[in-house]
Amino acid sequence: MSIGTEEKKAIEIIHTALAEGINYFDTADLYDFGENEKIVGKALKEVRDEVIIASKVGNRWNQERSGWTWDPSKAYIKEQVKQSLKRLGTDYIDLYQLHGGTIDDPIEETIEAFEELKAEGFIRYYGISSIRPNVIREYVKKSNIVSVMMQYSILDRKPEEESLPLLHENGVSVVTRGPVAKGLLSERMLEKASEKGYQDYSNEELTEILPLLKEKAASLRSLTEVAFQYNLANPAVASVVAGASSVEQVRSNAKAARGNPLTEEEVAVIKKISKQTFYQDHR
């Protein structure tokens, strides 16, 4: 999502990721009006069989491209997969995800669309991208999803008590996004802080907590590494998706993912410093 539309630079970022051992690439038809899918497909064409390409569907751009509407209908999903395949320049998508979802959707119809695409060979697997507990529970109960993409980090631990255990128990993998919390969990931590704070933290709380995390949990390694390893320490988490708008960021992220796992003591310290919060909506 963050690599931009300057093709040469974007492809260089993707090729750097490949060189760093990254094999999971996540895009969506929504990103840059489909241009992102084209760039991803072009960059990975020569190594298609060696990588996992994930894309998403459900958001329909209006004609002016000034906004989009939500459309989880079977007809829309089955039509849009063809457009994504064309842009990606591939015969199949490894993981096709519903890009959102509400409890008012025609969920059975949506599942039927994904199951048919799987049977027809257009996709290998399907999942959803959602943080809504009521939606996640329905898909776990009624579908064969293999993954749920959701925001999760030291500064956003809402999935921990509810969603992650449920998904782990049911053999559904979690793909986490936002592991460094918009740069707050990086070496630039307080530079990235805003007056609005972040999630359930005020700016004042961040000013107190971030240096404490650095001192108690990241004194011997980077805060970025600690952030990645915190996500990876949860048994439900299969992959960490972090945005990167430069080659340097990709290398930094890859290094963080390759770091040493956190000990139980380190995880306990992080949990003591940060706070456990809960989803208030979409019950």
Active site residues: 31
How many CA atoms within 13 Å lie on the side-chain side of 172? 25
- Residue 261 and residue 223 in contact, taking contact as beta carbons nearer than 8 Å: no
DSSP per residue, 173-205: EEEEE-TTTTTTTSTTGGGG--TT-BTTB-HHH
Instruction: State whether residue 24 is helix, strand or coil.
Output: strand
199: left (phi over 0), alpha (psi -120 to 50) or beta: left
Backbone angles phi, psi at 247, to 5 degrees: -60, -40
The secondary structure element, H or E, covering residue 134 is helix 133-142
**In angstroms, rounded to a whole number, what is the distance separating the alpha carbons of residues 126 and 132?**
17
How much helix, strand and coil, in percent to the nearest 5, is found in the chain? 45, 15, 35
**In angstroms, rounded to a whole number, what is the distance separating the alpha carbons of residues 81 and 175?**
21
Which pair of tokens denotes residue 256? 């963080």
- Residue 185 and residue 155 in contact, taking contact as beta carbons nearer than 8 Å: yes
